[in-house]
Structure 1
Amino acid sequence: MVGLSSNSSCLSGAAPIQLTSSFHCNLGFYCPNNSALHPPEFCAPTASCQATRLESPSTPCVESQGLYQPVVCPPGKFCPQDGREMLSCPKGSYCPVGTYDPFRCGLTSICPLESSRQFSLLGFIIIVAIDVVMGLLWWRDWRKLRSKNRRSDVERTSSQETLCSSDDDASVKAFMASFARCVKTSNIGLSFAFSDLTYRPKSMDRDIVSAISGGIEKGSMWAVMGPSGSGKSTFVDLLMGNRIPSNGSISVNGGQAERSKYSKLIGYVPQDDVLLPELTVRENILHSARIRLPRSWTEAQRNDHVDRLLDCLHLTHTQHRTVRNISGGERKRASIGIELIAGPMALFLDEPTSGLDSTSALSLVELLKALSQMGVTIVCIIHQPRREIFEVLDNVLVLKKGEQVFQGPREGIVPFFKNRGFSVSDAANPADAILDIVSERNPIIEPPQIFNMHGSKLVMDWEEYWKKALPPIPITVSDDPLPSTSGRSAPWLLQTYFCLTRALKQQQRQPVSFYLEIGVGAVAGLLIGLALYPYKGLHFQGLYLPPFELLSSAVDYKTVPMISLMCCMAIGLASASPGVRVFGDEKDTYQRETRSGHSRSAYYTGKLLSTIPRILLSSLHFTSFYAILATPCISFWDSYVTIALYFYAIYGLASLVSVVVSREDGPLFATILCLVISVLDGHGPPLATVHEWHLEWMWRMYPGTWFAEAWMDRFLRCAAHLYDVDKAAAATKWVLGRYSLDLGMVFIIGSVYRVLAFVGLVWAPGSRR
């Protein structure tokens, strides 16, 4: 060998160190000159070789530093087991540093002659096929909806905005016939009686509702009126059983009934139209029908019931339009239809005319009047209705600061206040006049000096009036038994299935959002792959196995944990915000549906299952770009499963955040939290340092540490024939050989996040009944 000293077999001229007393060549080494007479030796590196090692520790100086010094088999070559030959890596295989037997490339991989790493195209082929199929499905669904809408436009008549308002109307009769089959009784409607009804929250020193007594007859239409803050919504919540009164009692149909016994008989329409905008009018109502109608009904019967209701509400012409593409009045009718489809005995509505023009508001109230004439008890919270709307009402209950100032027929309210000294002009809107009286304003009412009296004077007048047993009309509360609610909802598994298919349809109707999410995952994998591309697949370097330890270059135990940190942070950035939107955007929907009898766990499970395709596709796009550029030694499927499980964990954490944080703050908070958790993966501070602090248990509470350990196990497994991986594990405190446990812990932690999120959904303010 050129440059050898006459007194030394080493290039540097230094004395060699014998590594073993007999011939031995470790796997992955090239030992052409070694024999029993000349066993392997270690030679101190020359200055140029040492500079190379110091400049790039991950790229060892592969030139032999002595005649009898073995060298590790360089990238693109392989050295068979005895180490006598160094051969070129054949086409279709790849040979990283220290290869003794070439690794076969996959059928979809690019591996030319003397490849040192595998460029796998498997992921790209899969994602292209899946993306094309998803695009075709979206296109088919869009064309189907457009075709249905065109047919509906042709069928639209000039009277499409007229609502059913008479019992003689054929559509009303048809719906009522189906309604009767649903409730299984001809005695439709609920009556409510309440005595000294009072509600005071524990956090307040005054009553929100104070000592209200009276009753609501079945088949009547009531309006609860009063200025803002008068306790209207709280009073209605008490009647529906959503709040427990501090004092007093409520009876339904003449008997004391538990909320669970009549909750499925009541419909509630909130002020804001809680509809899923991605679904059509029919799909929103049909979902409610599938969940809440008797489980003995067939799908054909449910669809027939929906058809009759759509006809009654005059929504047939818009039934195939998505909610985001219909008018405000149509949205309000659709919102009412979601409750009517279940055959409620009583319907409560919060500000049903809010946000509507005067004509639409009047038409809607006339519809509600028609429903009350069918026998359904209607109770509306109405704030300052127009005169024509006020005249449609049967009865009125007026509140002032939680106290009752009037209850009775609409016709009797003006005489009642006139008898108290107020002069209401015949030209004035009675509703406006009454609200001015109880609000102590005087733009219309005379005489003005009455407003100098304390506001409680009106309450005292009413109490005196009521005690004299001279209410405007006697309140008749029936003693009819409550209809049975058994079998009134779908079984749990069916509810889960319906919620799952609905959620999947929502995703299908949001192609931009869906593709953006998986696109972000692809970009994240691409950026990490580009960052790791210069490593050429060499992500770990340790001490060579005995007896070749002295031949080792600088060790690199940090790159694999660094890769895991980069992956955790990228996955957190890519999936935290979409994970929050799974539940954060539908809190109102969840609350409305669970109030009406939907199973909380079925809704939650269906939504969780609907995220699985998003998780699998996002992680697939991430892994595909990462794998082809970073070219890790582990298999594509090992990489994919590990990454997919971390996506699963982050989605679970984001779901938990969405429950405890507001919709506006959720995405940012979840992203920050995921970044913080990513840092706790054992890279910085290193797990060995954390072990010295006796805080490893804290790091083990988060999925990043288990993810990094799984990553470390797979990477070191690839190099176990060349490096002393046990020493690497002892130095870093990573535990090898439990890859399945690592993945299982990531899955368990992600599942725990979901359980906590469900508990939060059940116990969060406003979600319990």
Structure 2
Amino acid sequence: MTSETSGSTCLSNALPVRLSEGNVCNHGFYCPNNSAAHPPEYCPPTSSCQSIRLQIQQNVCSEPQGIFEPTICPPGSYCPEGGNSLMECPAKHFCPLGTIDPVRCGATSVCPPGSIREFALIGFIIVVVIDLLMGLCSWWLSWTLQKRVAACRYRDVEASQPLHGREESRFSSGENEAADENHDIVASGIRDYVFSVARCISGGDIGLSFAFSDLSFKIPGTGVEIVSSITGDIRKGCLCAVMGASGAGKSTFVDLLIGRKQSKTGITYINGRSTKISEYKKLIGYVPQEDLLLPELTVRETMMHSALIRLPRSWTDLECERHVDLLLRCLHLQHVQHNIIGDPSNRCLSGGERKRLSIGIELAAAPMALFLDEPTSGLDAASALSIVRLLRQLSRMGVTITLIIHQPRREIFNCLDDIILLEKGRQIYQGPRADLRSHFESLGHSFSNVSNPADLIIDVISTGKAYSKEATVPQSAKIEKRHEGNIETRDRTIQDESNLKDLLTLASHRGAPWLHQLWLCFIRSLKQQQRRVSSFYLEISVGGIAGLIIGLSLYSFQGLHFQGIYLPPFERLSSSVNNNTVGMIALMVCMAIGLTASPPGVRIFGDEKLVYWKESSSGHSRSAYYVGKVLSTFPRICISALHFTSFYTILATPTMTFWESYGANLLYFYAIYGLASCVSVAVSRQDGPLVAVIVCLVISVLGGYGPSLRTVQQWHLEWFWRMCPGTWASEAYIDRTFQRVSYLYDIEAAAKATGFVLRRYGLDLSMIFVLGTIYRILAFGGLLVSGRHQI
């Protein structure tokens, strides 16, 4: 029995329910048979239609269930206001479910007639163009660098013209004194370099004198004493060596002297005055035992960065370049100046070249005093002797140089001026190197059959038995503490106290302005990323693949990611409600971005913490370094987010526009990079990537999908979820998706069911940016706190 024979207007032969008293047709509906005499009706669906309506996907019946029942305008068509006509979606437009007016596609989108969604190609086109440009730029920069390296293999850099004037006459005597053993170094430009250093202090005295009294250090918590009551001084313009067996406390002693560690009992004097060494750190250089170098930079770039940052701010870039050219000649590095430094897996410099470069970084700043921790370790005999002779020549020009050395060869030992001997943290000897032999001979030790006096000294202070004339003499009788010249030197340095104000003034004029330092750090970081281009390509490839996988998983939805309750009076016509798919999409997007961005975000600071601490201890602006690093990640973040969004939108075809999706994804990339920076400061370099991935996954889960934000509100923990950027990203996705169909569905009820708030897309994006910025501030604070012992 049909509806015509039964008198029912419904296909199911059931009685219809009138939806309104008048002729009403909601926006997005097709109402061809309705009129004032026949208002819209609801018909109970047939069993086949009911099963379709209960499905999450494809839950709209294609035919009305009654003669006077309105139907939702089908995908691929649009129903103008009034609902009396059903028209095919024209080309260059797309018409999703319930369309009133066709939505214009972008100029580069694929939208044939009858399109139900937009295949936006704008992002894909931009990605292809950017990738091609990056590839060409990388090839050109690499080719240019290779040309420079090849040129330097066959010719040296042209020597700069020697300086003339009063500096030359001031240091001529020092040159003549060491000419017999350092003629090769002087010939290579050491004199001109020293004259350049003299210009940095405007004709003042080069060098600082140091005195110390009762320096001691105990390991916190254990009370183990590493250094015990050391008193003495280091004369201005001398080459002083701190010697002793392994574990004697040499490095700790130097750390106490230059302020890297704090002594609770001792006092340090500079030019006779008790003062904080941090006030003069711009005038003091420190070369650690390990070569802390950025592997992506060239030799010249590394030294130029140090010079531009730390030389007097009145110097021009051209003067800094000339200064570096002279130093490259002095260190015999001009033939490798354009070589990439490299890392242990790709070494582009020899051990001696790396060591000379580490010294050159400090010498590029024209220091008045230089401290070096075992500068000859790991080098062959010839390279070690060359470095020590260079240091000796610099000391003859007035620079105070102190180096830690374990057991030098005879030629190196003879280059030294003063010796400080330590044994298990105790001071054994402090005085001129020339008096050391007579001192030990007076204690019963013979040097007659020993080719290297340093060997005897180390054996004696280690065992107390080597080369002793009287084997029965107890160790305490054979070794005693000795200071020579300390009182005389201290009296002399007290006379230099009047120069401290001039030194402070000089230090205040050292270093580039903050904005210039920021720019230099920004450019340096961009160069690092450009030369790590393979890792960047891997990052954007992972992002593109992740976006492609998510888009592929959503392809069958055909852009229908949300379906709610129809607006009154058509509520009864509603199909199965789908409020959660958008939240699920936001969760997948956040997790994919977390997996993509967290490992490279860790590397930004995780690989350079030691370099950061070293540079900040030398007078570099810590904030300029950090802000420059952060700014240098912006191009990387923008390109990575573009790759992810392009491949995601081309298959997922969300109702959000491409640029709306890109804005949300871009800021979430920004937040993840900031969170990864916090992780890199808190954990070790090896554990950083794994921990960052785990943390970012946890943050993504706290996005309001499962458990839903509404459930979290019942737990009174929404404040905690709102501290996570994933919650704000999910809200942005939901807002843009729901708002597009506000004329069709009751989006307020849908939002209430999810727990999110609508109509604050701008606030959502702003909060993601704020959280990403807070993460960076916390990371910077962590660098300050965790590296305080290094500064």
Give the TM interval when normalised to the shorter protein: over 0.9
Aligned equivalents of 2:751, 2:394: Cα separation in 1 = 74
Q: Which amino acid aligns with 2:275?
A: A
Letter in 1 for 2:369: A
Matched residue type, 2:196: S
| 2:634 is equivalent to residue 616 of structure 1 | no
Distance 1:475 1:448, change over 3 A: farther
Aligned to 1:160: none
Stretch of structure 1 that moved more, 647-656 or 185-194: 185-194
The alignment of Structure 1 onto Structure 2 pairs a total of residues equal to 757
Tell me how far 1:449 sits from its aligned partner.
4.7
1:269-284 to 2 correspondence within 5 Å? 269-284=287-302
Residue 352 of structure 2 corresponds to residue 329 of structure 1: yes
* Farther off after superposition, 510-519 or 120-129: 510-519
Q: Secondary structure at the match of 1:110?
A: coil
CA distance 1:178–1:32, change in 2 (3 Å): same
> Residue 92 of structure 2 aligns with which residue?
92
2:551 match: 529
533-542 vs 60-69, which moves further:
60-69
Contact 2:614/2:790 (8 A) holds in 1: no
Is 80-89 or 102-111 further displaced after alignment? 80-89
- Work out which of the residue numbers 682, 687, 709 in structure 2 matches 1:660: 682
Distance 2:467 2:662 in 1: 73
* 1:436 has 2:454 as partner: no
The answer as to whether partners of 2:599 and 2:692 remain within 8 angstroms in 1 is yes
**Alignment pair present for 1:140 and 2:149:** no
1:382 aligns with 2:405: yes
- Aligned twin of 1:546: 568
The aligned residue for residue 563 of structure 1 is 585
1:115-138: CA deviation from partner (whole Å, max 9, x where unpaired): 000000000111111111111211
Tell me which residue corresponds to 1:756.
778
1:164–1:314 CA contact under 8 A, matched in 2: no
The letter of the residue matching 2:736 is: R
2:698 matches 1:676: yes
- CA displacement, residues 286-334 of structure 1 (integer Å, 9 cap, x when unaligned): 0111111111111111111111111111111111111122211111111
Q: In structure 2, how many angstroms separate the alpha carbons of the residues matched to 1:218 and 1:326?
A: 34
Q: Quote the sequence identity (%).
A: 55
Q: Which string of whole-angstrom CA distances, capped at 9 and with x for unpartnered residues, describes residues 739-769 of structure 1?
A: 1111111000000000000111111145653
The question of 1:352 aligning with 2:410 is answered: no
How far apart, CA to CA, are the structure 1 residues paired with 2:772 and 2:263?
39
Specify whether residues 186 and 330 from structure 1 end up closer, same or farther in structure 2 by C-alpha distance, changes over 3 A only. Answer: same
Alpha carbons of 1:96 and 1:477: their partners in 2 closer, same or farther (altered >3 Å)?
farther
Q: How does 1:455-470 map to 2 (within 5 A)?
A: 461-462=480-481, 465-466=482-483
Compared with structure 1, are the counterparts of its residues 13 and 72 closer, same or farther at alpha carbon in structure 2 (3 Å cutoff)? same
Counterpart of 1:708, as a letter, is S
Opposite residue 358 of structure 2, the aligned amino acid is S
Q: 1:510 aligns with which of 532, 540, 543?
A: 532
Which whole-Å deviations, capped at 9, do the CAs of 1:72-106 have from their partners, x for residues lacking one? 11111111111111111111100000001000000
Task: Tell me how far apart the structure 1 counterparts of residues 744 and 469 of structure 2 sit (CA, whole Å).
Answer: 100
Helix, strand or coil: the match of 1:406?
Answer: strand
The question of 1:45 aligning with 2:45 is answered yes
The alignment partner of 1:342 has SS state of coil
- How much does 1:187 deviate? 1.4
Tell me which of 629, 643, 646 is aligned to 2:651.
629
1:492 aligned residue: 514
Match of residue 426 from structure 1:
449
Match of residue 180 from structure 1? 198
* Residues 540 and 640, structure 2, Cα contact 8 Å, conserved in 1: yes
Alignment CA distance shift 1:694-1:21 (3 Å): same
In the TM superposition, what are the counterparts of 1:725-744 in structure 2 within 5 Å? 725-744=747-766
Match of 1:204, SS?
coil
Q: 2:364 aligns with which of 341, 364, 382?
A: 341
- Counterparts of 2:533 and 2:314, CA distance in 1: 36
**Are residues 1:319 and 2:337 paired?**
yes
Report the CA distance shift for 1:621/1:420 in structure 2 as closer, same or farther (over 3 A).
Answer: same
TM-score by length of 2: 0.92
Which amino acid in the other structure matches residue 427 of structure 1?
V
Equivalent position to 2:425, from 402, 410, 414: 402
Amino acid corresponding to residue 133 of structure 2 in structure 1: V
Q: Which amino acid aligns with 2:291?
A: D
Q: 1:477 deviation in Å?
A: 4.6
2:171 matched to which residue of 1? none
**1:169-198 deviations in Å (ceiling 9; x for gaps):** 361121111111112234111111111222
**Residue matched to 2:78:** 78
Deviation digits for residues 15-61 of structure 1, max 9, x if unmatched? 11111111101111111111111111111111111222334445322
Higher mean C-alpha deviation, range 398-407 or range 709-718: 398-407
Contact preservation (8 Å) 1:221, 1:377:
yes
Residue 203 of structure 1: CA displacement? 2.2
Decide whether the 8 Å contact of 1:189 with 1:219 is kept in 2: yes
Contact 2:56 2:576 in 1 (8 A): no
TM-score (norm 1): 0.95
Q: Name 1:268's counterpart in structure 2.
A: 286
Of 292, 299, 304, 2:322 maps to 304
What is the alpha-carbon distance in structure 2 between the residues aligned to residue 719 and residue 225 of structure 1?
Answer: 79
Q: In structure 2, give the amino acid aligned to 1:14.
A: A
Whole-angstrom distance in 1 between the partners of 2:327 and 2:393: 13
**2:711 is equivalent to residue 693 of structure 1:** no
Does the C-alpha gap of structure 1 residues 689 and 170 become closer, same or farther in structure 2, counting only changes over 3 Å? closer
Instruction: Answer yes or no: is the 8 Å Cα contact 1:193–1:252 preserved in 2.
Output: yes
CA distance in 1, matches of 2:571, 2:86: 21
Q: Which runs of 5+ in 2 are unaligned?
A: 158-180, 343-347
Deviations 1:206-264 (A, max 9, x none): 33221111111111111111223222112111221222321121111122232233111
Kept after mapping to 2: 8 A contact 1:78/1:88:
yes
Query: Residue 244 in 1 paired to residue 262 in 2?
Result: yes
For 1:532, the aligned partner's letter is L
For residues 140 and 219 of structure 1, the distance between their equivalents in structure 2, rounded to whole angstroms, comes to 47
Give yes or no for contact 2:296–2:531 (8 Å, CA) kept in 1: yes
Question: Is the 1:167–1:374 Cα contact (8 Å) retained in structure 2?
Answer: no
What secondary structure is seen at the aligned counterpart in 2 of 1:169?
Answer: helix
Secondary structure at the aligned position of 2:145 is classed as helix
d(CA) in 2 for partners of 1:400, 1:614: 52
Given that residues 677 and 704 in structure 1 are in contact (C-alpha distance below 8 angstroms), is that contact kept between their aligned partners in structure 2? yes
Alpha-carbon spacing, 1:652–1:303, altered in 2? closer, same or farther (3 Å) = same
Equivalent in 348, 360, 363 of residue 386 of structure 2: 363
The whole-number CA distance in structure 2 between the counterparts of 1:446 and 1:594 is: 51
Q: How big is each residue's C-alpha offset from its partner over 1:432-476, in whole Å with a ceiling of 9 and x where there is no partner?
A: 3222222227576665555x75xx6677x21xx55xx78899677
SS in 1 for 2:6: coil
SS of aligned partner of 1:391 = helix
**Partner residue of 1:211?**
229
Provide Cα deviations, 1:631-661, integer angstroms capped at 9, x if missing partner.
0011110000100000000000001111111
Going from structure 1 to structure 2, the CA distance change for 1:203 and 1:446 (only over 3 Å counts) comes to farther
Equivalent residue for 2:210, pick from 188, 192, 195 = 192
Deviations 1:137-181 (A, max 9, x none): 111211111111121111159xxxxx9666853611211111111
Structure 1: distance between partners of 2:104 and 2:787: 58
Q: CA RMSD in A?
A: 2.1
Q: Is 529-538 or 423-432 further displaced after alignment?
A: 423-432
Matched, 1:649 2:684: no
